[in-house]
Amino acid sequence: MEQLVTGRPDRMRSLGQLARNTWTTGRTQTTVTTRTRVLIAEDDPGSRALLERFLALRDFDTVTVGDGPAVLQAVRVNDFAAIVLDVEMPGLDGIEVLERLRREYSIPIIVLTCRTEEEHRLAGFAAGADDYVCKPYSLPELEARIRAVIKRGTTASPRRAINIGNVVIDRSAATVTVSGTPVALTHKEFELLAFLAERSATPYSRTELLHHVWGSTEDWQDPATVTEHIRRLRTKLESDPQRPKLIETVRGFGYRVASNPPEAGRDDAC
């Protein structure tokens, strides 16, 4: 007999019954019109397989992983509408994975945990969780929470401009101004500046910037490419490129955009 376990014997139900009954009221049934991709990060193989199977029946496209490093790798090569992230995972625990993801991504993330202490839940939210679900949980309720965080993410107003000191970076228009004066940048210069500005105060190595901005690696491209583009940006944006206030060097690591530099940009930008 086919059973789906959600954490306690008294919550066992037929997988088919759950799929038929969930989200149904009278003659109206809510379904996903296109297969939405969700990442399931759960170290227990049985729980991972059951959740994958249930969400597949609910018309989700799922990718499953069982450890922290695999989560980071999966996010790099896939576009996910949401992530279901178990806190207790080998390699990197869920909170550390969550913190790393939040440095680069705004994907909705639901945290799963067996721990119910308030301080533990608060730590998850502080790290960037969008929702928090304690085990054992109801599969239909988890599905509802997944749909809710996806809906919130798709209806949120996009951030059109980034203001850092007297520098304004408009992602939608692909323009940069310093004290109101437009600055001409190449496509890659703009992408590099925007990437760092969207993650201000977070340092990135040249290898990481090659990956995120150029989609390349040290095996294929010289990291000095990054150094040269940083030099060009400082020349175009900084009042004193030799003493940069906007794009800082983190000694021994890489570069970052200052979160609140004092009038970093040059006044004679052109």
- Distance between CA atoms of residues 121 and 98, nearest Å: 13
Asked if residue 263 is part of any domain, the answer here is: no
pLDDT of 154-193, one tens digit each?
654 445 678 888 899 987 788 999 988 999 999 889 989 9
> Which is higher by pLDDT, 69 or 17?
69
pLDDT of 88-109, one tens digit each?
888 888 888 988 888 777 889 9
Quick one: 29 and 91 in the same domain? Answer: yes
In degrees, rounded to 5, the angle at the alpha carbon of residue 256 between the alpha carbons of residues 268 and 194 is 65
Last residue of a domain, one of 131, 155, 179: 155
What pTM did the predictor assign?
0.51
Q: 61 falls in which pLDDT band (50, 70, 90)?
A: very high
Q: What is the pLDDT of residue 4?
A: 42
Quick one: 42 and 93 in the same domain? Answer: yes
Last residue of a domain, one of 116, 140, 155: 155
CA 118 to chain centre: 24
Domain region containing 215: 161-257
Quick one: 142 and 188 in the same domain? Answer: no
Quick one: 209 and 237 in the same domain? Answer: yes
- Distance between CA atoms of residues 153 and 134, nearest Å: 22
Bridge partners, 61 (sequence order): 37
Asked if residue 15 is part of any domain, the answer here is: yes
- Distance between CA atoms of residues 264 and 37, nearest Å: 41
- Residue 55's domain is classified under what CATH number? 3.40.50.2300
b/e sequence 166-184, b meaning 16+ C-beta within 10 Å: bbbbebeeeebbbeeeebe
Quick one: 24 and 147 in the same domain? Answer: yes
Burial of 215 (0-12, 13-18, 19+ CB in 10 A): exposed
Q: What is the pLDDT of residue 232?
A: 95
CB 246 within 8 A of CB 264: yes
Q: How far apart are the first and last CA of the chain?
A: 73
Token pair listed for 120: 């533990």
Quick one: 175 and 215 in the same domain? Answer: yes
Quick one: 141 and 225 in the same domain? Answer: no
Asked if residue 243 is part of any domain, the answer here is: yes
Q: Does the pLDDT value for residue 256 go beyond 90?
A: yes
- Distance between CA atoms of residues 254 and 207, nearest Å: 9
Q: What is the pLDDT of residue 212?
A: 83
Q: What is the pLDDT of residue 183?
A: 94
Asked if residue 179 is part of any domain, the answer here is: yes
Asked if residue 27 is part of any domain, the answer here is: yes
Number of domains making up the chain: 2
Asked if residue 4 is part of any domain, the answer here is: no
Quick one: 107 and 30 in the same domain? Answer: yes
Q: 265 falls in which pLDDT band (50, 70, 90)?
A: low
Q: Does the pLDDT value for residue 16 go beyond 70?
A: no
Quick one: 224 and 108 in the same domain? Answer: no
Quick one: 24 and 124 in the same domain? Answer: yes
Quick one: 21 and 146 in the same domain? Answer: yes
- Residue 217's domain is classified under what CATH number? 1.10.10.10
Asked if residue 269 is part of any domain, the answer here is: no
Quick one: 167 and 133 in the same domain? Answer: no
Query: Which H, E and C letters describe the chain, residue by residue?
Result: CCCECCCCHHHCECHHHHHHHCCEECCEECCCCCCEEEEEECCCHHHHHHHHHHHHHCCEEEEEECCHHHHHHHHHHCCCCEEEEECCCCCCCHHHHHHHHHCCCCCCEEEEECCCCHHHHHHHHHHCCCEEEECCCCHHHHHHHHHHHHHHHHHCCCCCEEEECCEEEECCCCEEEECCEECCCCHHHHHHHHHHHCCCCCCEEHHHHHHHHHCCCCCCCCCHHHHHHHHHHHHHHECCCCCCCCEEEECCCEEEECCCCCCCECCCCC
Asked if residue 262 is part of any domain, the answer here is: no
Last residue of a domain, one of 155, 170, 197: 155
